[in-house]
Amino acid sequence: RSFSEAASIPVATVLRAMMGMGIMANINAELAFETAELIATELDLQLMLKETETLEDELISDIEEQEDDPDSLVTRPPIVTFLGHVDHGKTSLLDYLIGINVVSGEAGGITQHIRAYEIDKDGRSVTFVDTPGHEAFTEMRARGANVTDIAVLVIAADDGIMPQTEEAISHAKAAGVPIVVALNKIDLEGVDANRVLSQLTEHQLTPSEWGGEVEVVRTSAISGEGMDELLETLLTIAELNEYKANPDRKALGVCLEAEQQGDRGVLAKLVVQNGTLSVGDVVVCGPTYGRVRAMTNTLTGKPVEHAGPSTPINLMGLESPPGAGDRFHVLSDITQAREIAANRADAESRSSLSGVTTKVSFENFQEMLQGGRLGRQDEKVKLNLIIRADVKGSLEAIDKELSKFDHPEVEIRVLQRSVGGITLADATLASASDAVIVGFNVIPDEQARSLADERNVQIRRYEVIYKLTDDIKAMIEGRLKPEE
């Protein structure tokens, strides 16, 4: 632990480096001086490797940043994700939508964890991505893969807003995407829609029928009620937001999931975000690469030659399965693709530092402020917080204290506040949104702790509220002492 602190490298990274050297240890282990020296050398080496990797990837960032001529842009289907509490009907809603649409054949052919389908409605399409939960949704964002344009928040009318619904709301808000509410299971007898509408209002999601901004569609995945209206609402939002892409450039996008299918090779499910992907293209995706051998429609399983913007596709031809959230790019040269992939794979296996980025913390906030790392010059710098507390009363008291802050340059933004321990979802959200996690009389669970460690996410714990406000004041004024 003291080695990690002295070197400012997360404990998990140090332990992994040690494991790579055949040293099994825990954070309390004592290190001989020689061993510490060896680990330092090892980590140093990895840092250098990381730099080489960055150079290789310059080519990729050039591709990413290549601006599209406005004349080349065409409308693309919106990419929509379902979020919500477990059992509120995410899977059933998507099943129903596919049911409307399945013309023939078996869907997919891949073990279904993340589903992605393009659904046609009178000649206009919507692409649905169904992730297993909001952790997966935010994890993609943490990896730079913002696949979602619109979030559909599924709420069962009989249950109303539940803890995971609250988390989903925070995650969707942090992603900055429009939210549509599917008030599901409306077919159940005796459900009180108004109760849910008022809960929504309490969560700053005022329904449009009550004069707010949020469209609430009453749906039933059983009777099909509201399904047309849901699709229409999504298409209307898409029209308003004018999602566009350039089908004439080389494709880029995101891998949703992938698996090795025995002798048949690697099957990867991708979403094209821009450009057109074609059979025969050379693709580099995370630490792997390949030439596109075949593509199939995720819904019908039928072969396709070309996949344009917002199209989900099953792809064969990659050398090994990439990870969920890995970005893909089309290159002109297979040798180059092989090199980039090999470099990445090398960096990944040699080091665990690839995940390390400098995250915002109370201690480095001033530095980041001055270095212009947080926000633009003409707007207030945002300090993002995720707050977890033991009881509701503490949350209210914290809110009250935080609302008293009025600083010309700094805005405190609470991405998520709720009762309970610090979870993996909190750590993922903090990592994707550059937030600091604050816990009041609560602790992180093991998964949350290790992810936070790995990603350099700061978790600060307090027992009294004025300590937090003191720290924030001190932090903003740049006189905060490092945490003990």
Annotated binding-site residue numbers for GTP: 84-91, 130-134, 184-187
Nearer to ligand GDP, 189 or 484 (CB): 189
* Shortest separation between residue 114's beta carbon and ligand GDP, angstroms: 13
Nearer to ligand GDP, 130 or 326 (CB): 130
Give the C-alpha separation, 310 to 251, whole Å: 11
92 binds ligand GDP (CB under 6 A): yes
* Shortest separation between residue 251's beta carbon and ligand GDP, angstroms: 30
DSSP string of 68-107, one letter each residue = PPGGG-EE-PPEEEEEESTTSSHHHHHHHHHHHH--SS-S
* Shortest separation between residue 171's beta carbon and ligand GDP, angstroms: 15
Q: Is 345 helix (H, G, I), strand (E, B) or coil?
A: helix
* Shortest separation between residue 88's beta carbon and ligand GDP, angstroms: 5
Binding residues: 84-91, 130-134, 184-187
* Shortest separation between residue 292's beta carbon and ligand GDP, angstroms: 32
User: Of these, 76, 90, 417, 455, which contacts ligand GDP (CB under 6 A)?
Assistant: 90
* Shortest separation between residue 182's beta carbon and ligand GDP, angstroms: 9
230 binds ligand GDP (CB under 6 A): no
Question: In the range 24-43, which residues lie near ligand GDP by CB under 6 A?
Answer: none
Query: For residue 281, what are the CA distances in angstroms to 175, 254, 431?
Result: 31, 16, 33
87 binds ligand GDP (CB under 6 A): yes
341, 317 Cβ separation under 8 angstroms: no
Helix (H) and strand (E) counts in the chain: 15, 21
Q: 439 — alpha (psi -120 to 50), left (phi > 0) or beta?
A: beta
Give the C-alpha separation, 273 to 129, whole Å: 13
Give the C-alpha separation, 143 to 213, whole Å: 30
In the chain, the amino acid numbered 191 is V
Nearer to ligand GDP, 85 or 141 (CB): 85
86 binds ligand GDP (CB under 6 A): yes
193 binds ligand GDP (CB under 6 A): no
Picking from 344, 326, 325, 251, the residue whose alpha carbon sits closest to that of residue 292 is 251
Nearer to ligand GDP, 154 or 174 (CB): 154
Q: Which stretch binds ligand GDP (CB under 6 A): 59-67, 183-191, 376-384, 432-440?
A: 183-191
The strand pair at 216-218 and 288-297 is best described as: unpaired
Which DSSP helix (H) or strand (E) runs through 312? Answer: strand 312-318
Q: Which residues, 6 or more positions from 331, have their beta carbon under 8 angstroms from its beta carbon?
A: 59, 63, 250, 282, 283, 284, 337, 340
Give the C-alpha separation, 228 to 127, whole Å: 15
Give the C-alpha separation, 385 to 417, whole Å: 9
185 binds ligand GDP (CB under 6 A): yes
Give the C-alpha separation, 405 to 476, whole Å: 11
Q: Is 263 helix (H, G, I), strand (E, B) or coil?
A: helix
45 binds ligand GDP (CB under 6 A): no
User: Of these, 39, 80, 88, 292, which contacts ligand GDP (CB under 6 A)?
Assistant: 88
Q: Which two tokens stand for residue 211?
A: 């004069």
CA atoms within 13 A on the CB side of 42: 22
187 binds ligand GDP (CB under 6 A): yes
Residue carrying the six token digits 């008022």: 198
Nearer to ligand GDP, 222 or 294 (CB): 222
Nearer to ligand GDP, 84 or 317 (CB): 84
221 binds ligand GDP (CB under 6 A): yes
165 binds ligand GDP (CB under 6 A): no
99 binds ligand GDP (CB under 6 A): no
User: Of these, 31, 60, 222, 342, which contacts ligand GDP (CB under 6 A)?
Assistant: 222
Nearer to ligand GDP, 92 or 199 (CB): 92
Give the C-alpha separation, 177 to 484, whole Å: 38
134 binds ligand GDP (CB under 6 A): no
Q: Which stretch binds ligand GDP (CB under 6 A): 31-39, 89-97, 288-296, 382-390?
A: 89-97
Q: Is 370 helix (H, G, I), strand (E, B) or coil?
A: helix
Nearer to ligand GDP, 184 or 458 (CB): 184
Nearer to ligand GDP, 158 or 348 (CB): 158
The contact pattern for ligand GDP, residues 201-220, with x = CB under 6 A and - = no contact, is: -------------------x
DSSP 321: P
188 binds ligand GDP (CB under 6 A): yes
Give the C-alpha separation, 98 to 128, whole Å: 10
The footprint of ligand GDP (CB under 6 A) covers 84, 86-92, 184-185, 187-188, 220-222
